[in-house]
Amino acid sequence: MADLVVVRSKVKEHARGCNVSGDFAEALNKEVVGLIGRASERAKANNRKTVSSRDL
């Protein structure tokens, strides 16, 4: 398993009363890493070195 960007305990806190399966954090992590990557590419395409909220 790769390093997690998301924190499992925080995911559980925000699950609004639902249980969180063991593979959910990994799947969420993949989505978040992809989102960060796309935002980074957008920042680079706009000649910036800083990723900001507008890149999401």
What is the number of other CB atoms lying within 10 angstroms of the CB of residue 29? Answer: 19
CB distance 20 to 11 below 8 Å:
yes
16-52 tens-digit pLDDT? 999 999 899 999 999 999 999 999 999 999 999 999 9
Check residue 4 and give its pLDDT: 82
| pTM listed for this prediction | 0.82
Place of tokens 């590419």: 41
Per-domain boundaries in the chain: 23-56
